[in-house]
Amino acid sequence: MIELSSAPASTASPASPRSAEGKMLPGHAFEIGRDKPLKLDCGVELAPVTIAYQTYGTLNADRSNAVLVCHALTGDQFCAETHPITGKDGWWDSMIGPGRPVDPADYFIISTNVLGGCMGTTGPASINPDTGKPYGLGLPIITIGDMVRAQARLIDHLGIETLFCVIGGSMGAMQVLEWASSYPDRVFCAVPIAGAARHSAQNIAFHEVGRQAVMADPDWRGGDYAGQKVKPVRGLAVARMAAHITYLSEPALHRKFGRNLQDRAAVTYGFDADFQVESYLRYQGSSFVDRFDANSYLYLTRAMDYFDLAAEHGGVLGNAFKGTKTRFCLVSFTSDWLFPTPETREVVHALNAVAANVSFCEIESDKGHDAFLLDEPEMFAVLGGFLKGCAEHRGLRK
Amino acid sequence: MIELSSAPASTASPASPRSAEGKMLPGHAFEIGRDKPLKLDCGVELAPVTIAYQTYGTLNADRSNAVLVCHALTGDQFCAETHPITGKDGWWDSMIGPGRPVDPADYFIISTNVLGGCMGTTGPASINPDTGKPYGLGLPIITIGDMVRAQARLIDHLGIETLFCVIGGSMGAMQVLEWASSYPDRVFCAVPIAGAARHSAQNIAFHEVGRQAVMADPDWRGGDYAGQKVKPVRGLAVARMAAHITYLSEPALHRKFGRNLQDRAAVTYGFDADFQVESYLRYQGSSFVDRFDANSYLYLTRAMDYFDLAAEHGGVLGNAFKGTKTRFCLVSFTSDWLFPTPETREVVHALNAVAANVSFCEIESDKGHDAFLLDEPEMFAVLGGFLKGCAEHRGLRK
């Protein structure tokens, strides 16, 4: 169990965050007002914007021990506590907690729900104050840059000049790279795990399948399902099932399920879930729709597709990090075929090209992309060591 | 152009085959009558059964030069001629034709639409003579074994004792292995390409996603869409899109599309197909539904999922080929992640364990699983050489 700190008095927010379904959520909410709207990459100035976030540990007097945790596509701010909707453990309990690499005894840990999300931060399910109805597809397209710009506004608000660390996996790693590139002086060390500096053609293709699955559901209603009191649950479940396969690896699926049958001695010669892997996938699909908003899924997959850090810097990835003083530690996994090691290595090469302080570790694992969320002792050892070293440099430890 | 032979007089069929949509098709149809029904693996005796097939070349006097071509999941009997519905080239024009490894000047080439298919052979879209309505889900589940047993009935009917060769890729390779296992004396040589002796957990998972996409479409109507004059085109398109990604490789997608935009200078900040790969996938989905039956997709994916040759032989794959005299040539491709080389190697090991005559070649290609359908000179060289050698042994060449 992690002791939840109260937010510092200065961060007290007018209201608790609420989920896409309107449920009150633990944690805090910060609002970007109409007086200083958030400028999005698409050109729109968005306001008001609510950023739902959670914190663990205590900000030190120097305000120098803050760690920003960035979540992946379907994650949220509840990285290290029981999830208020599913009742499941925090998605990064293995990484964050007492005795873990990111220990709330040492750090002030901040975790936001990303812009476009559905756990309290402004997203397509949020009410558009100009219409009194949910944004739906009326919300402008969000980019990884927009997510990070919104987080930076929160960090400003918390009175933190420089984050000790920005850490995240998958889409979280994209945010880490964007942070290090856009705010080099505000990131002491950066830990992008199982990520990439751009989304590959294959990954865009898988995302497009997911979006088409959602949009093919007649209950999607052009994005206006909330207004019409329906939910595209079947389409979203199919999208999740397809995506879920890409988070695993063939060896992991083989080890976990193989061709094992589901509670039966022989195949049934039908279309029921004969195989355990079918039943598992169906469960992944049907449980996902209870906690995630279909339009958010569209927006966040799109944000990942659009991410291309080199393209934003004249086609040369190194330019994104010129003169950086941030210390980097990159991690990839051998069996991750969604964000395979060469994608991480490309970032490492770009960082080397600008003489950055960079460490890189490819971890032997058969667990696929999801390895970053799982019990991977080597990852904990690598990151624990890296963070300790950085903490010494930062003067957080003697 | 390939000269189409007329079928031998003995094979004249009462009627031309018809597509699932009722369109008259070129080629031949053979009927298994009620007097001698086809015994299926699920226990049902099915009759009547129509087998639609096409032939190229001429059967020699010894009836010793017949090559049976087995198609993949979405293929059909039109392997070496313009497709009567899409107007596209035959799906294996590169392999079959004058000067090609399988030359109609040398061989009598037979290609059937598989049982459960939708191009004239009995499948879920066929009329159930007992009800006067399409079978839909009333058709019993079909297995790879059933497909092969139906083909064997046609081969009996054509008066062919021993096939010179059985050849096919992907689901076609499964049929080849099943032929060699079930009818060892009737297969002189066997060429399974990009296949496996069993469907992996990951492949079952991808198939399940496709089936759920079809079944999630309200127009699927529990399989009775034909009776209700609708078609689950959106669900089937999503299924096809997901599957299509698995037929390619990340390097091939990167080379072909990368992150190239579709007819535009910059992203549109929307959900249109900004990227070429999105537009390509959407096209793959929408064109597929014009030529393929959704229920057939369910049945044929299920047949592949159920395929497990070792399980049918006491769990020992070698037992499937004990004492075989068939000459085998197996081919896999380096970038095929759907049926990766280790799956083929497992078959090779099993064949070696029973001292079979086996040759195996892993071909360097970045084209993924689809490589078996494409212009792969090394594959043509390997198979051309193998078939020539076998033809000499068979006395077809001096």
- Minimum Cα–Cα distance from B311: chain A residue: A259
Q: Is B16 a catalytic residue?
A: no
- Minimum Cα–Cα distance from B302: chain A residue: A271
Mean pLDDT over A79-91 rounds to 96
ipTM over 0.95: no
Please, are residues B146 and B41 in contact by the beta-carbon 8 Å criterion?
yes
Pick among B238, B262, B304, B309 to test the A interface (most A CBs inside 10 A)? B238
Closest Cα of chain B to A113: distance in Å? 21
Alpha-carbon distance of B310 to B220, in angstroms, equals 35
Please, what sign has the CA dihedral across residues A112, A41, A316, B261?
positive
List residues of A with catalytic annotation.
Answer: 170, 336, 369
pLDDT band at B59 (very low <50, low <70, confident <90, very high): very high
Residue A187 is encoded by which pair of tokens? 């990131």
Q: CA B89, B92, B95: angle at the middle one, nearest 5?
A: 125
* 185-204 in chain A: CB under 8 A from chain B: 198-202, 204
| B204–A269 CB contact, under 8 Å | no
Q: pLDDT digit string (tens) for A324-374? A: 999 999 999 999 999 999 999 999 999 999 999 999 999 999 999 999 999
Q: Pick from A392, A386, A384, A390: which is nearest to A101 by CA?
A: A384
Check CB contact of B348 with chain A, cutoff 8 Å: no
| B216–A234 CB contact, under 8 Å | yes
Q: Show Cβ contacts of residue B6 under 8 Å, excluding neighbours closer than 6 positions.
A: none
Q: Pick from B318, B306, B147: which is nearest to A266 by CA?
A: B306
What's chain A's average pLDDT?
95
Q: Which residue has the higher pLDDT, B11 or B63?
A: B63
Contacts of A209 in chain B (CB under 8 A): 238, 241-242, 245, 281
| A216–B218 CB contact, under 8 Å | no
Q: SS3 breakdown of chain B: % helix, strand, coil, rounded to 5?
A: 40, 15, 45
Question: Which pLDDT does position A22 carry in this prediction?
Answer: 83
- Cis ω before B48 (30° cut-off from 0): yes
Question: Which pLDDT does position B8 carry in this prediction?
Answer: 44
pLDDT band at B9 (very low <50, low <70, confident <90, very high): very low
A289 φ/ψ sector (left φ>0, alpha ψ -120 to 50, else beta): alpha
| A204–B41 CB contact, under 8 Å | no
- Minimum Cα–Cα distance from B139: chain A residue: A270
Closest CB to B202: pick one of A217, A245, A340: A245
**Three-class HEC string of chain A:** CCCCCCCCHHHCCCCCCECCCCCECCCEEEEECCCCCEECCCCCEECCEEEEEEEECCCCCCCCCEEEEECCCCCCCCCCCCCCCCCCCCCCCCCECCCCCECCCCCEEEEECCCCCCCCCCCCCCEECCCCEECHHHCCCCCHHHHHHHHHHHHHHCCCCCEEEEEEECHHHHHHHHHHHHCHHHEEEEEEECCCCECCHHHHHHHHHHHHHHHHCHHHHHHCCCCCCCCCHHHHHHHHHHHHHHHCCHHHHHHHCCCCECCCCCCCCCCCCCEHHHHHHHHHHHHHHHHCCHHHHHHHHHHHHHCECCHHHCCCHHHHHCCCCCEEEEEEECCCCCCCHHHHHHHHHHHHHCCCEEEEEEECCCCCHHHHHCCCHHHHHHHHHHHHHHHHHCCCCC
% of chain B surpassing 70 pLDDT? 96
Please, are residues A197 and A308 in contact by the beta-carbon 8 Å criterion?
yes
Question: Which pLDDT does position A23 carry in this prediction?
Answer: 87
Question: Which pLDDT does position A4 carry in this prediction?
Answer: 38
Residue B139 is encoded by which pair of tokens? 């058709």
- Minimum Cα–Cα distance from B276: chain A residue: A201
- Minimum Cα–Cα distance from A298: chain B residue: B271
Q: Is B286 a catalytic residue?
A: no
Pick among B45, B143, B207, B209 to test the A interface (most A CBs inside 10 A)? B209
Question: Which pLDDT does position B45 carry in this prediction?
Answer: 98
Contacts of A269 in chain B (CB under 8 A): 41-43, 140-141
Please, are residues A178 and A159 in contact by the beta-carbon 8 Å criterion?
no
Q: pLDDT digit string (tens) for B27-46? A: 999 999 999 999 999 999 99
| A202–B306 CB contact, under 8 Å | no
Residue A3 has pLDDT above 90, yes or no: no
| B242–A209 CB contact, under 8 Å | yes
Question: Is B370 one of the annotated binding-site residues?
Answer: yes
Mean pLDDT over B51-70 rounds to 98
| A242–B209 CB contact, under 8 Å | yes
% of chain B surpassing 90 pLDDT? 92
Q: Pick from A290, A296, A286: which is nearest to A240 by CA?
A: A286
What's chain B's average pLDDT?
95
Closest CB to B267: pick one of A253, A254, A306: A306
- Burial B226-236, CB ≥16 within 10 A → b, else e: beeeebbbbbb
For residue B143, give the 3-state DSSP assignment.
coil
Please, are residues B63 and B46 in contact by the beta-carbon 8 Å criterion?
no
Residue B276 is encoded by which pair of tokens? 């070429």
Architecture of the A202-303 domain: Orthogonal Bundle (1.10)
Q: pLDDT digit string (tens) for A90-116? A: 999 999 999 999 999 999 999 999 999
Residue B49 is encoded by which pair of tokens? 């059964």
A–B interface: beta-carbon pairs under 8 A: 152
Alpha-carbon distance of A357 to A175, in angstroms, equals 19
* Half-sphere exposure of residue B155: CA atoms within 13 angstroms, side-chain side: 28
Q: Which amino acid is at A42?
A: C
Closest CB to B238: pick one of A141, A209, A248: A209
Question: Which pLDDT does position B263 carry in this prediction?
Answer: 83
Q: Which amino acid is at B392?
A: E
% of chain A surpassing 90 pLDDT? 92
Crossing angle of helices A201-216 and A294-306, in 10° steps, is 160
Neighbour count for residue A240 (Cβ, 10 Å) = 23
| B137–A271 CB contact, under 8 Å | yes
| A213–B238 CB contact, under 8 Å | yes
Pick among B139, B215, B245 to test the A interface (most A CBs inside 10 A)? B245
Contacts of B144 in chain A (CB under 8 A): none
Please, are residues B329 and B361 in contact by the beta-carbon 8 Å criterion?
yes
Question: Could you say which of B106, B274, B336, B365 is catalytic?
Answer: B336
Residue A157 is encoded by which pair of tokens? 């608000």
Cross-strand partners of B102: B96
Q: Which residue has the higher pLDDT, B20 or B224?
A: B224
Contacts of B250 in chain A (CB under 8 A): 200-202, 337, 340
Closest CB to A209: pick one of B198, B215, B245: B245
Residue A165 has pLDDT above 70, yes or no: yes
Neighbour count for residue B142 (Cβ, 10 Å) = 27
- Burial B239-249, CB ≥16 within 10 A → b, else e: bbbbbbbbbbb
Closest Cα of chain A to B342: distance in Å? 12
| B302–A211 CB contact, under 8 Å | no
| A199–B42 CB contact, under 8 Å | no
Alpha-carbon distance of A72 to A85, in angstroms, equals 18
Closest CB to A202: pick one of B202, B217, B253: B253
Check CB contact of A343 with chain B, cutoff 8 Å: no
% of chain A surpassing 70 pLDDT? 96
Question: Is B146 one of the annotated binding-site residues?
Answer: no
| B212–A277 CB contact, under 8 Å | no
Please, are residues B230 and B219 in contact by the beta-carbon 8 Å criterion?
yes
* 214-233 in chain B: CB under 8 A from chain A: 215-218
**Three-class HEC string of B153-178:** HHHHHCCCCCEEEEEEECHHHHHHHH
Question: Which pLDDT does position A7 carry in this prediction?
Answer: 42
Domain boundaries, chain B: 9-200+308-393, 202-303
Check CB contact of A354 with chain B, cutoff 8 Å: no
- Burial A318-327, CB ≥16 within 10 A → b, else e: bbbbeebebb
- Minimum Cα–Cα distance from A202: chain B residue: B250
* 256-285 in chain A: CB under 8 A from chain B: 256-259, 267, 269-271, 273-275, 277-278, 281-282, 285
Question: Which pLDDT does position B1 carry in this prediction?
Answer: 33
Closest CB to B281: pick one of A209, A254, A306: A209
Residue B102 has pLDDT above 60, yes or no: yes
- Minimum Cα–Cα distance from B242: chain A residue: A209
Q: Which residue has the tokens 């449980």?
A: A287
Is 3.90.180.10 the CATH number for A9-200+308-393?
Answer: no
pLDDT band at B10 (very low <50, low <70, confident <90, very high): very low
pLDDT band at B15 (very low <50, low <70, confident <90, very high): low
Residue B368 is encoded by which pair of tokens? 């993924």
Residue B14 has pLDDT above 80, yes or no: no
pLDDT band at B264 (very low <50, low <70, confident <90, very high): confident
Q: Show Cβ contacts of residue A87 under 8 Å, excluding neighbours closer than 6 positions.
A: none
Residue A387 is encoded by which pair of tokens? 């963070």
- Minimum Cα–Cα distance from B286: chain A residue: A212
Q: pLDDT digit string (tens) for A246-301? A: 999 999 999 999 999 998 888 999 999 999 999 999 999 999 999 999 999 999 99
| A277–B204 CB contact, under 8 Å | yes
- Burial A142-171, CB ≥16 within 10 A → b, else e: bbbbbbbbbbbbbbeebebebbbbbbbbbb
Please, are residues A339 and A172 in contact by the beta-carbon 8 Å criterion?
no
Residue B348 is encoded by which pair of tokens? 């090779």
Residue B176 is encoded by which pair of tokens? 């080849």
Contacts of B208 in chain A (CB under 8 A): 241, 273, 275, 277-278, 281-282
Closest CB to B141: pick one of A206, A242, A270: A270
- Cis ω before B340 (30° cut-off from 0): no
Residue B2 has pLDDT above 50, yes or no: no
pLDDT band at A398 (very low <50, low <70, confident <90, very high): low
* Half-sphere exposure of residue A279: CA atoms within 13 angstroms, side-chain side: 14
Contacts of A206 in chain B (CB under 8 A): 242, 245
Question: Which pLDDT does position A21 carry in this prediction?
Answer: 81
| A204–B275 CB contact, under 8 Å | yes
